[in-house]
Amino acid sequence: MLTEFGKLYVVATPIGNLADMSFRAVEVLKKVDLIAAEDTRHVKILLQHYGITNKLVSLHQYNEDKASAVLLEKLREGQSIALVSDAGTPLLSDPGMPLVKLVKDAGLDVVPIPGACALIAALSAAGLPVTQFSFEGFLPRTSSARKAFFNERLLSPKTWVFYESCHRILASLQDMAEILPLDREIVIARELTKLHETIVKTSLGEALELVEQNDNMRKGEFVVIVDGAVVDKKEQIITTDQEKLLQVLLRECSIKTAVAMAVEITGVRKKLLYQAALEMDKAKDA
């Protein structure tokens, strides 16, 4: 019978400020038989802070398939288990998915203990639409893959959100600025709940300048939120790459030929490219 089995509790922990721990999370971590943690040394700091002395086992991205099978057996034996990650809500760009799936598929109970999550914290204070948003996790590591990723989202009307590290925040914004219009609104939420928490809402162009010029804006942990494309503006958008292509073609051919070639290469509507070509031609004579 289901009630004889143990339960798996998925417990959110703070993303910086240790006070962001719910009473229920502390209670659960005290009462379970076992805590499965991404990094047992890391979670000990939190457990010590709350006087929790419980048994720990590790469950991280390199052992989670094997460890999940062992944990399922323990649940079947009636033990209760709490799953925690290094920070925030497990499974959100963190380990835990295989375990939760296995336990659900086995028909056992999985109980969420909600709390901190960088994605939700950032969205709640960003001032960008949240009715519909898309969470993208971490971006691809290579510049070309990131640009392809930005291209795919260029016209998405939804707000989109991604996680970024201090090592790649500048490169990601530089790539984004090559694809998205520089006046697109973005929010950079850095070091949330910590001493140097910074939440900046500005245009992509200004955000890039800020991160380029201010060393502190390249330190810590980041959530980046990008406003969706305004539907009415859809028709008016051509990317910086497409603009560059058109410029090169215009150097070599007439407006008509350059536009025709650009349409064939990019698939962008002729009217839009023609308008852009006329403006470039005018600017050349000015």
Question: Between residues 102 and 161, which has the closer beta carbon with respect to ligand SAM?
Answer: 161
The answer to whether 26 and 48 have CB atoms below 8 angstroms apart is: no
Rg value, the chain, Cα: 24
Of 21 and 259, CB closest to ligand SAM: 21
With respect to ligand SAM, which residue has the nearer C-beta, 216 or 240?
A: 216
Please provide residue 15's backbone torsions phi and psi, each rounded to the nearest 5 degrees: -105, 20
Distance in Å, CB of 243 to ligand SAM, minimum: 31
Q: Shortest approach of ligand SAM to residue 155 CB, angstroms?
A: 25
Least separation in angstroms between CB 90 and ligand SAM: 7
CA distances from 123 to 90, 210, 285 (A): 18, 21, 45
Residue indicated by tokens 């009462």: 31
* Among the listed residues 40, 41, 31, the one whose alpha carbon sits nearest the alpha carbon of residue 79: 31
Minimum CB separation from ligand SAM for residue 186, in Å? 14
CA distances 13 to 16, 83, 197, 208, Å, are: 9, 10, 18, 31
As measured in angstroms, the least distance from the Cβ of 92 to ligand SAM is 4
CB-wise, 38 or 227, nearer to ligand SAM?
38
Query: Whose CB is nearest to ligand SAM?
Result: 88
The whole-angstrom separation of Cα 79 and Cα 96 is 18
Shortest reach from residue 119's CB to ligand SAM, in Å: 6
Q: How far is the CB of 86 from ligand SAM (least distance, A)?
A: 7
Minimum CB distance to ligand SAM smaller for 42 or for 76 = 42
Candidates 174, 282, 181, 190; CA nearest to 229 is 181
CA distance 15 to 222: 11
Strand partners, 25: none
Give me the residues that bind ligand SAM (CB under 6 A), please: 15-16, 85, 87-89, 92-94, 117-119, 163-165, 189-194, 221-223
Q: What is the dihedral of CA 272, 277, 278, 280, to 10 degrees?
A: 130
